[in-house]
Amino acid sequence: MRLVDGVTVGHWTDSEARTGCTVVRLPEGVTASGEIRGGSPASREFELLDPVRRVGRLDAVVLSGGSAFGLAAGSGVADALGEAGIGFET
């Protein structure tokens, strides 16, 4: 990955289970848009990035595999961001 000012990337791999997780932290003020394609995609809050919706900010993107276990990785990232005072009040 190319170095981009303010962007940090962390990755963890479980070689035995053949899965992993990559977290991309973005600088303050970043907004994004995206769409999901495929026959059986799964996501967590990705719908907020639909081009017809507006999100005020984006703190991190989590890329993971492993079906429901991969989606659960997002909970760990959300918890860590919350403990650091980053994220949306719910």
Residue 49 sits in which domain range? 8-83
**88 inside domain:** no
Q: b/e per residue, 9-24, with b = 16+ CB within 10 A? A: eeeeeeeeeebbbbbb
| Phi and psi at residue 43, to the nearest 5° | -150, 165
Give the count of domains, the chain: 1
Digit-coded pLDDT (tens) for 33-64: 887 887 878 888 888 888 787 667 789 999 98
55 vs 26 pLDDT, higher one = 26
**17 inside domain:** yes
**77 inside domain:** yes
**90 inside domain:** no
**69 inside domain:** yes
**Model confidence, pTM:** 0.79
